Amino acid sequence: MDIDSKVISMTSSSSSSSPIRWWSEETVAVVTGANKGIGFALVKRLAELGLTVVLTARDVAKGKEAVESLAARGLRVEFCRLDVADGSSILAFAAWLKRAFGGLDILVNNAAVSFNEIDTNSVEHAETVIRTNFYGSKLLIEALLPLFRRCAASSRILNMSSQLGLLSKVSNPTVREVLGDEERLTVPTIEHLVASFLDHVKAGTWEEQGWPKVWTDYSVSKLALNAYSRLLAKQEAGRGLSVNCFCPGFTRTSMTRGRGRRTPEEAAEVAAMLVLLPPREVPTGKFFKWRTPALFSKL
Ligand SMILES: NC(=O)c1ccc[n+]([C@@H]2O[C@H](COP(=O)([O-])OP(=O)(O)OC[C@H]3O[C@@H](n4cnc5c(N)ncnc54)[C@H](OP(=O)(O)O)[C@@H]3O)[C@@H](O)[C@H]2O)c1
């Protein structure tokens, strides 16, 4: 069975289906932005499956409340504060993780913001969106890279992304060419594109520059995250660390003001299955799209 059919068969069966168990309670998984939404549901699912899970949240009270609600269901998870938009919080978290566990196996970059209603498209908070969704994930990855155990190809990064950030959503020919050039793309180039987007926002010219048309700032943040993930996957190939992106699709959370086609638990079920694919089958540098036959598409 190839990966595509395996993913489809696992995700389309009942929620009681579990992937082949290669992990143990020694396996440490970190999920960002996990006090609610898909992140919270993912922590719950991974804890049910027997991993050691670190629930992180930027707000201590909300994080602890989430931990307690899991404890009330008989699930024990660890907690540490982590604001991915704050470099010092990232460093403090990395130091805590090293002290508490010595390292980690799985990182799910789930924390993200969007300030738009479903049918609106303001870029008023573009800087915060880029700082949180792109730089937050990138800086956290950089801080945690030395802590990955890189054991038997079981170390994984899953970046929660969005189809809104696929290259096909961009009409600017320069951006398309630069991001599409797999051989020459570099991290500074991605950062330069992101900076030029923020310059266009400041200059009020962003609408005519061919950036994605829906939830523009959010889409650019995920566009950059996808490109960075692709580069990181290449950099880490053969070094026991896979890097993939996952779009859960339109899911009923605060980000969508409760609208969507599926529940956070359904999205988390698929995310959990993806980060727990057996070591020999886990791909790298892929973009997973919810339940479509073409489950892998170019980042
Ligand atoms: N829902 C969808 O339809 C959909 C579709 C495609 C992709 N996604 C992606 O799925 C992931 C989860 O989204 P969701 O729908 O579950 O959203 P959500 O319910 O709004 O949850 C977002 C989480 O991120 C946290 N967060 C925001 N800024 C943070 C920061 N600076 N540091 C740490 N945590 C921070 C939030 O914490 P607070 O409670 O403190 O704000 C919250 O816990 C995101 O990456 C999103 O882009 C969602």
> What band does 289 get if pLDDT is binned at 50, 70 and 90?
confident
> What band does 280 get if pLDDT is binned at 50, 70 and 90?
confident
| Average pLDDT for 144-172 | 91
What does each C-alpha distance from 299 to 106, 107, 164, 182, 284 come to in angstroms?
A: 20, 19, 11, 11, 11
Q: Which amino acid type is present at position 57?
A: A
**For residues 252 and 274, is the Cβ–Cβ distance under 8 A?**
no
8: pLDDT strictly greater than 70: no
pTM above 0.85, yes or no: yes
Burial 155-176 (b: 16+ CB within 10 A, else e): bbbbbbbbbbbbbebbebeebe
Place of tokens 């982590």: 82
Task: List, for residues 38-87, the tens digit of each pLDDT value.
Answer: 999 999 999 999 999 999 999 999 999 999 999 999 999 999 999 999 99
| Average pLDDT for 167-191 | 94
Place of tokens 């898909």: 38
User: What is the pLDDT, as a whole number, of residue 16?
Assistant: 42
> What band does 281 get if pLDDT is binned at 50, 70 and 90?
confident
Residue closest to 40 by CA, chosen among 100, 111, 97: 111
What does each C-alpha distance from 298 to 141, 167, 280 come to in angstroms?
A: 21, 9, 21
- How far is ligand 1, taken at its centre, from the CA of residue 30, in Å? 15
The radius of gyration computed from the CA coordinates of the chain, to the nearest angstrom, equals: 18
CA distance 4 to 87: 37
User: What is the pLDDT, as a whole number, of residue 153?
Assistant: 66
5: pLDDT strictly greater than 60: no
- Architecture per CATH, domain 24-165+225-290, reads as 3-Layer(aba) Sandwich (3.40)
219 ligand 1 Cβ < 6 A: no
Per cent of the chain over pLDDT 90 is 83
Q: Whose CA is nearest to atom 17 of ligand 1?
A: 255
Atom of ligand 1 nearest to the CA of 161: 7
84 ligand 1 Cβ < 6 A: yes
Q: Which amino acid type is present at position 273?
A: M
250 ligand 1 Cβ < 6 A: yes
> What band does 20 get if pLDDT is binned at 50, 70 and 90?
confident
CA distance 248 to 251: 7
286: pLDDT strictly greater than 70: yes
- How far is ligand 1, taken at its centre, from the CA of residue 216, in Å? 17
203: pLDDT strictly greater than 80: yes
Residues noted as catalytic: 218
37 ligand 1 Cβ < 6 A: yes
CA distance 145 to 277: 20
What does each C-alpha distance from 77 to 27, 67, 91, 139, 173 come to in angstroms?
A: 13, 6, 21, 24, 46
12: pLDDT strictly greater than 70: no
7 ligand 1 Cβ < 6 A: no
> What band does 163 get if pLDDT is binned at 50, 70 and 90?
very high
Domains in the chain: boundaries: 24-165+225-290
User: What is the pLDDT, as a whole number, of residue 293?
Assistant: 33
Kindly report the three-state secondary structure assignment for every residue of the chain.
CCHHHHHHHHHHCCCCCCCCCCCCCCCEEEECCCCCHHHHHHHHHHHHCCCEEEEEECCHHHHHHHHHHHHCCCCCCEEEECCCCCHHHHHHHHHHHHHHHCCECEEEECCCCCCCCCCCCCCCCHHHHHHHHHHHHHHHHHHHHHHECCCCCCEEEEEECCHHHCHHHCCCHHHHHHHHCCCCCCHHHHHHHHHHHHHHHHHCCHHHHCCCCCCHHHHHHHHHHHHHHHHHHHHHCCCCEEEEEEECCCECCHHHCCCCCECHHHHHHHHHHHHCCCHHHCCCCCEEECCCCCCEECC
- How far is ligand 1, taken at its centre, from the CA of residue 37, in Å? 7
> What band does 291 get if pLDDT is binned at 50, 70 and 90?
low
What mean pLDDT value characterizes the chain? 91
Lowest mean pLDDT among 1-15, 161-175, 211-225: 1-15
- How far is ligand 1, taken at its centre, from the CA of residue 181, in Å? 30
